[in-house]
Structure 1
Amino acid sequence: MPNRTCFLIDDDDDDREIFEIALEAVDKSCVFISAKNGLEALKFIDENPDFIPDYIFIDLNMPYMTGCECLAAVKQITRLTNVPVIIYTTSSYGKDANDTLALGAAHFLVKPASISALTTALSDIINGIATSYLLKSVSIE
């Protein structure tokens, strides 16, 4: 099986570093690529026409382009149509979850408080066993 690729779009340097540490704990062979905001991510995707990651994680609150705007733009790129997009955010607001799921997000993951909790969540997502537990701290209305 070829190496899997995770593309994280998040403006917070610490969050990108923590994500990379957790991802490496889940799968040392997984390729980690990140962008600091939606505009940088879309430019990278545009400049690399063969780039099709296995997973895309998008923070909601970013400068220049919100996570919702970035998600909508990513979903318009034909070659990325089947790539699961996971919203990765500090927000636990039910409306944010509903809005992003309606835009085509596969999951809404509230940023866990520890690397071990993030490692577990990433493991579940990458191994295809993610369930609604990802939404348990979100009040869906």
Structure 2
Amino acid sequence: MPDYKRLLIIDDDYDDSILFMNAVKEVDDTIVCYEARDGRQALEMLNNIDNPLPDFIFLDLRMPGYSGEKCLIEIKNRERLKNIPVIIYTTSKNVEESIQLKAMGACHFMTKPRNSAEIYYMVSIVLEEEWDSFKNKNILQ
């Protein structure tokens, strides 16, 4: 097992992805960031057994075509992928939507940060959690 963490960012906004990856490097420069432009591309990467799986997925909810919600459903329905923590980050602040997404398997629902300081804070919190406690458990139990 490598000494570094892998993080997949799924976001259709190139500028947001770059901002996010730069902030992640500030948190921990050993984290390897991968990116996908939409849910379809992300699933192609995740389902390729030659690619190492990420330790975390940050998933933008609002993407044209193959939405974040559809991608989350696919990830949580696949045996190989279902234990990867998925953090939804979006411009939405809809509490009902966050409850629904957590019931579908998302670990967190976070408002999309606007600057690198907010992303730094968000990533720091996520990396400090004890993720083993989420594996093979229903989050709402």
TM range (shorter): 0.7 to 0.9
Q: Considering only aligned residues, what root-mean-square deviation do their CA atoms show, in Å?
A: 1.7
2:80 is paired with a residue whose SS is helix
Q: Distance in 1 between matches of 2:79 and 2:3?
A: 22
1:100-119 maps to which residues of 2 (within 5 A)? 100-119=101-120
Q: Distance in 2 between matches of 1:124 and 1:75?
A: 22
2:34 is paired with a residue whose SS is strand
Alignment-mate amino acid for residue 127 of structure 2: I
1:4 is the counterpart of 2:5: yes
**Between 40-49 and 82-91, the greater mean CA deviation after superposition:** 40-49
Give the C-alpha shift of residue 95 in structure 1. 2.2
Match of 1:127 in 2: 128
Please, which runs of 5 or more residues in structure 2 have no aligned partner? 131-141
Normalization by structure 2: what TM-score?
0.86
Q: Distance in 1 between matches of 2:119 and 2:10?
A: 16
Give the C-alpha shift of residue 44 in structure 1. 1.2
1:79 is paired with a residue whose SS is coil
Q: Distance in 2 between matches of 1:112 and 1:2?
A: 28
Normalization by structure 1: what TM-score?
0.86
Q: Distance in 2 between matches of 1:67 and 1:96?
A: 12
Q: Distance in 2 between matches of 1:82 and 1:39?
A: 19
Q: Distance in 2 between matches of 1:93 and 1:18?
A: 24
Residues 66-122 of structure 1: per-residue CA shift (max 9 Å, x gap): 111100001122122221100011111112211211100000011123211110110
**Between 94-103 and 7-16, the greater mean CA deviation after superposition:** 94-103
Identity %: 36
Give the C-alpha shift of residue 56 in structure 1. 0.5
Please, which runs of 5 or more residues in structure 1 have no aligned partner? 130-141
Match of 1:132 in 2: none
Q: Distance in 1 between matches of 2:17 and 2:115?
A: 14
Q: Distance in 2 between matches of 1:75 and 1:51?
A: 17
What stretches of structure 1 move > 4 A for 4+ residues in a row? Answer: none
Give the C-alpha shift of residue 60 in structure 1. 0.6
Match of 2:39 in 1: 38
Alignment-mate amino acid for residue 44 of structure 1: M
Alignment-mate amino acid for residue 86 of structure 1: I
Alignment-mate amino acid for residue 129 of structure 2: G
Give the C-alpha shift of residue 49 in structure 1. 4.4
Number of residue pairs aligned between Structure 1 and Structure 2: 130
